[in-house]
């Protein structure tokens, strides 16, 4: 008897618009009979996927959504699980691989996408062009104490910082709390910061501001927040974290070999 391996793709769709998906991601969705994901992400998919079986579970039913993938694969269907941004950055890749232990006949392929750290950075300028940390402020699955510990460590390491899930209805003051912790660990109120709403979707909004201003700003759950490192600057309205090139010698004739 031939052993048939069922293939499941876990696909990062990027921020939303199809032009920001990779061809690899589009190919995986086109090759699938069933596309499973959170309803908001399914709705972002274009007409070209309208002939697929589109399945969802409510938010917080992520395990059930994953199991649905394995069950559909057992029915002989080709299955794609879609995630916004990158499937492997706060996406479903890890849960699929954890649960995959129970489904040895299913082979899981992760297809990366543009995560909000990258797509939001491009809108703001270049805020993570040097070493950076990505921290989610959601404490649904992570104890707040661990989030605090990571914010403190990020501040002490002088990292550029990207904050995912900076707010929700139940967590309206979390961004303010995060900014306070950063300031307690040495980040000054004049630190260059920025945030982007609705990256890669309608009504994209980008704002640059200081940490002191950010601290008293309300952001919504579709926002990604960027905190520069101590060398970051706002240049012509863009948030720029430098790599350290000497740009002073540009307009004279000093050889760059001496400087780098």
For residues 61-90, which are near its own copies according to CB under 8 A?
61-64, 67, 86-90
Report CA 157 to chain centroid distance, whole Å. Answer: 21
Residue 66 and residue 57: Cα distance in Å, rounded? 10
> Which of 6, 8, 14, 208: binder of its own copies (CB under 8 A)?
14
Yes or no: say if 96 and 79 are a contact pair by the CB < 8 Å rule: no
> Which of 32, 118, 165, 208: binder of its own copies (CB under 8 A)?
118
Assess 152 for contact with its own copies (CB under 8 A): yes
> Which of 69, 81, 133, 187: binder of its own copies (CB under 8 A)?
133
Q: Single out the segment in contact with its own copies by CB under 8 A; choices: 48-56, 171-179, 202-210, 246-254.
A: 246-254
The span from the first CA to the last CA of the chain, in angstroms, equals 63
Q: How far is the CB of 100 from its own copies (least distance, A)?
A: 7
Residue 87 and residue 96: Cα distance in Å, rounded? 10
Yes or no: say if 155 and 182 are a contact pair by the CB < 8 Å rule: yes
CA dihedral 132, 138, 143, 148 (to 10 degrees): 40
Q: How far is the CB of 8 from its own copies (least distance, A)?
A: 13
> Which of 56, 129, 180, 204: binder of its own copies (CB under 8 A)?
129
Yes or no: say if 53 and 69 are a contact pair by the CB < 8 Å rule: no
> Which of 91, 174, 179, 208: binder of its own copies (CB under 8 A)?
91
Nearer to its own copies, 17 or 33 (CB): 17
């Amino acid at each position: 008897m031939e052993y048939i391996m069922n293939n499941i793709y876990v696909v990062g769709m990027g921020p939303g618009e199809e032009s920001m998906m990779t061809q690899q991601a589009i190919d995986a969705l086109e090759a699938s009979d069933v596309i499973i994901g959170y309803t908001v992400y399914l709705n972002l998919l274009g007409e070209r996927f309208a002939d697929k079986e589109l399945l969802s579970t409510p938010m917080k039913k992520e395990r059930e959504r994953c199991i649905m993938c394995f069950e559909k694969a057992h029915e002989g269907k080709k299955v794609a699980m879609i995630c916004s941004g990158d499937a492997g950055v706060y996406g479903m890749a890890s849960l699929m691989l954890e649960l995959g232990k129970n489904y040895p006949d299913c082979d899981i392929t992760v297809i990366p996408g543009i995560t909000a750290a990258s797509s939001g950075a491009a809108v703001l300028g270049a805020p993570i062009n040097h070493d950076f940390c990505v921290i989610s402020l959601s404490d649904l699955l992570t104890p707040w104490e661990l989030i605090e510990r990571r914010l403190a460590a990020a501040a002490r390491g002088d990292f550029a910082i990207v904050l995912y899930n900076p707010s929700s209805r139940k967590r309206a003051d979390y961004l303010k709390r995060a900014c306070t912790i950063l300031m307690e660990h040495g980040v000054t109120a004049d630190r260059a910061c920025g945030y982007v709403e609705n990256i890669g979707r309608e009504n994209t909004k980008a704002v640059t501001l200081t940490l002191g201003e950010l601290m008293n700003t309300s952001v919504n759950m579709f926002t990604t927040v960027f905190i520069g490192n101590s060398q970051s600057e706002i240049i012509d309205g863009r948030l720029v974290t430098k790599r350290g090139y000497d740009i002073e010698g540009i307009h004279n004739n000093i050889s760059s070999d001496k400087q780098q």
